[in-house]
Amino acid sequence: MFKAVIGAEKLKDSIEAVSTLVDEAKFKLTPEGISVRAVDPANVAMVSFDLSKDAFDSFDATDGELGIDLTKLNGIMEMADKDDNIELELDETAHKLVVRMRGLAYTMSLLDPSSIRKEPKVPTLDLPARIVIRGEDIKRAIKAAEKVSDYMSIGVKGDIFFMEAEGDTDRVLVQMTKDQLIDIQPAEVKSLYSLDYLSDMSKIIGKAGEITIDLGKDYPLKLRLKLAEGHGEVSYMLAPRVESE
């Protein structure tokens, strides 16, 4: 069983955190909350999303799995006002999710969880450098980098965190010292990442006050942020592009 009430904005942000990478996802239910692990179709990026029951005004769930069409759920949430309370209820016999807001009930058919890509194993990575940075600072760097290239280097050199994109004629370089960051644990690292993925993530990144980035040398990056007033955590892993030239 599953029945819960949550503020519209928290639910919207949660759906967006996952729909950045995939259109359909398995939402795992436990009495303690909801979680999603998903990998994008090209196997380049992975999202881990955990929403504690404390994010909800009320939350009752037994262990289970919901196959959710995120595009559709996003569309339903567009009808909600920021301050609406959203009630979610699983109709187990009909295999549908009922989404209620101010007298309106949207009964959404669920997807067969077995039709959705298997949950990925989350690899353990040894990433020596860690940066804590304002979300809007990354968002701006991504937006600038897109103007000159499809890829962006992210790394640390000495005490300086940098994001850099090289085009045929133009170049974008963002350098941030310790006092421009929230925190830095330096290590000599640098990897090249696809701006397609970073750009998709940048909408939710831009909203987050604080982003933690773990980095290695030609290694995946791990990017973490909190949402739902601290009761939710999203973690993205993004594979590097190995420079061949």
State the residues that interact with its own copies by CB under 8 A.
72, 75-76, 79, 102-109, 137, 140-141, 143-144, 147-148, 169-176, 180
Q: Which are the contacts of 119, defined by CB distance < 8 A and separation ≥ 6?
A: 26, 37, 38
Give the nearer residue to its own copies in terms of CB position, either 118 or 171. Answer: 171
Cα dihedral sign for 188, 220, 50, 88? Answer: positive
Phi, psi (rounded to 5 degrees) for 71: -60, -45
Beta bridge partners of 176: 161
Continuous segment of H or E residues that includes residue 9: helix 8-19
Kindly state the smallest distance separating residue 190's Cβ from its own copies, in Å: 17
**Structure letter (DSSP) for residue 111:** B
Give the Cα separation of 233 and 217 in Å (integer).
25
Kindly state the smallest distance separating residue 46's Cβ from its own copies, in Å: 28
Give the nearer residue to its own copies in terms of CB position, either 124 or 169. Answer: 169
Whether the CB-CB separation of 111 and 142 falls below 8 Å is answered with no
List C-alpha distances in Å: 243 to 7, 148, 170, 204, 237: 44, 17, 19, 28, 19
Whether the CB-CB separation of 155 and 215 falls below 8 Å is answered with yes
Give the nearer residue to its own copies in terms of CB position, either 140 or 217. Answer: 140
Kindly state the smallest distance separating residue 167's Cβ from its own copies, in Å: 9
Give the nearer residue to its own copies in terms of CB position, either 54 or 159. Answer: 159
Kindly state the smallest distance separating residue 234's Cβ from its own copies, in Å: 25
Whether the CB-CB separation of 88 and 45 falls below 8 Å is answered with no
Give the nearer residue to its own copies in terms of CB position, either 180 or 212. Answer: 180
Kindly state the smallest distance separating residue 78's Cβ from its own copies, in Å: 8
Give the nearer residue to its own copies in terms of CB position, either 33 or 155. Answer: 155
Kindly state the smallest distance separating residue 168's Cβ from its own copies, in Å: 9
